[in-house]
Structure 1
Amino acid sequence: MKIVGLTGGIGSGKTTVAGMFKALSIPVYNADKEAKILMNTSDSLKNGILKLFGEKAYEKGSLNRGYIAGIVFKDKEKLKALNELVHPLVRSQFLSWIDMQSAPYVIQENPLIFEKNDQNLFDYVITVTAKKEDKIQRVMDRDGIGESQVLERMDNQLDDSLKIAGSDFVIYNESLENTRKQVYDIHQQLLQ
């Protein structure tokens, strides 16, 4: 079974593309979503986060995402420390998840493949990209935040050109019809 990484900057359309692969019966593991679940359910992870960020890290037993985002997107060391707590657990869970799949290939949707230097953990890497102004607008619409907050988050991610250079496939997400065609073409290649 081939293991494919699906990455791209914030607002690029990774989740939209992942949905297109799911429509082709390809299992997709969303690393961000699973990380958020683990941060709310794993006692060892919760304890590490509380040590790192203090009592405000959780409100009524749930991760205070706004509070943590306000810290990590301004402090690269805190972001690195959080990633070092979360990513080994996500990786371990992903490997267990793979064992339960029977498709010709699986996809891990993960925005940080290149930031974590994890590209070698995958047989293939797909990067989703889009125009910067489109990405900014998508995130503002999705998260209800201002442009400066989106740019702050973008500053913590590698430039798309570096991700593209290290990828096996690139999807230019500009129109849904064209994106769907690119996904189908890559799917056909991965089936070979």
Structure 2
Amino acid sequence: MCTSDSSIPVIGVVGGVGSGKSTVAGQFAALGCAVIDGDAIGHELLTREDVRQDIRRRWGDAVFTDAGEVDRRALAKIVFADETQLSALNRILHPRIRRRMVEQIKSFQGEDIPGIVLDAAVLFEAGWNDLCSKTIFVDTPLEERLLRLRRTRGWDPQIVQGRESSQISLDKKAKRCCYIISNHSNVSHLHEQVRRFLHQVIHR
């Protein structure tokens, strides 16, 4: 989505797993933008009792630790192996995540900032792109993403493939975005691309 309005622009950031979306969001933050982290909202929601009750009703005690917390690893193993199970989890989390995003966007609209960044891996899949005035695709080579994910999360290629198979293809995501940021080089190059894009948005 590449619309224009008079309020503070809301910039959605998407890309493949391990593409550096959070790094790009961090570059926007360094330029004064507010950042809304979709993953962080989702993780926080898993600590809420009403969400835990919904999850327990669906999957039982198998996805909870002895301390009563949601075992995210166990839950992920179930939902990313079965589209029906993933859809069930999305029905529990996505409406709540959206409400939190809307609340945060409204709160930031009154601040003196150049933009609001929505860092959400499933922005298009969940329909949250309608909250954005601009969308960015972070383009990173698969080999680099796999190396990064193995180093930081211990994921093998099969896990990455499983996560991405549940999402819209990267080619389609890139085509739906109004701007592509290349994360093929160094942080300085990345920062310059973000700075240039933000300048274009502010002075549209």
TM above 0.5: yes
| 1: CA distance, partners of 2:141 / 2:126 | 24
Q: Does the aligned pair in 2 maintain the 1:7–1:126 contact within 8 Å?
A: yes
* Residue pairs, 1:47-126, within 5 angstroms: 47-59=53-65, 60-101=67-108, 102=111, 103-126=113-136
Shift of 1:56: 1.9
User: In structure 1, which of residues 136, 142, 151 is the aligned counterpart of residue 146 of structure 2?
Assistant: 136
| 2: CA distance, partners of 1:51 / 1:171 | 42
What per-residue deviation string (whole Å, max 9, x for no partner) do you get for residues 142-190 of structure 1?
Answer: 1112222222222222221101110011111111222111111111112
Aligned to 2:202: 191
Moved more, 63-72 or 97-106: 97-106
What per-residue deviation string (whole Å, max 9, x for no partner) do you get for residues 126-146 of structure 1?
Answer: 111211111111111111122
Aligned to 1:152: 162
Secondary structure in 2 aligned to 1:55?
helix
Q: Which runs of 5+ in 1 are unaligned?
A: none
Q: Does the aligned pair in 2 maintain the 1:171–1:182 contact within 8 Å?
A: yes
| 2: CA distance, partners of 1:119 / 1:100 | 18
Q: Does the aligned pair in 2 maintain the 1:136–1:151 contact within 8 Å?
A: no
| 2: CA distance, partners of 1:114 / 1:97 | 19
Secondary structure in 1 aligned to 2:46?
helix
| 1: CA distance, partners of 2:120 / 2:189 | 22
Shift of 1:117: 3.3
What per-residue deviation string (whole Å, max 9, x for no partner) do you get for residues 77-127 of structure 1?
Answer: 111111111111111111111232212320110000122233222111111
- Write the letter of the residue equivalent to 1:37: E
| 2: CA distance, partners of 1:52 / 1:169 | 39
- Write the letter of the residue equivalent to 1:10: V
Secondary structure in 1 aligned to 2:162?
helix
Aligned to 1:179: 190
- Write the letter of the residue equivalent to 1:24: L
Moved more, 95-104 or 30-39: 95-104
Shift of 1:4: 1.5
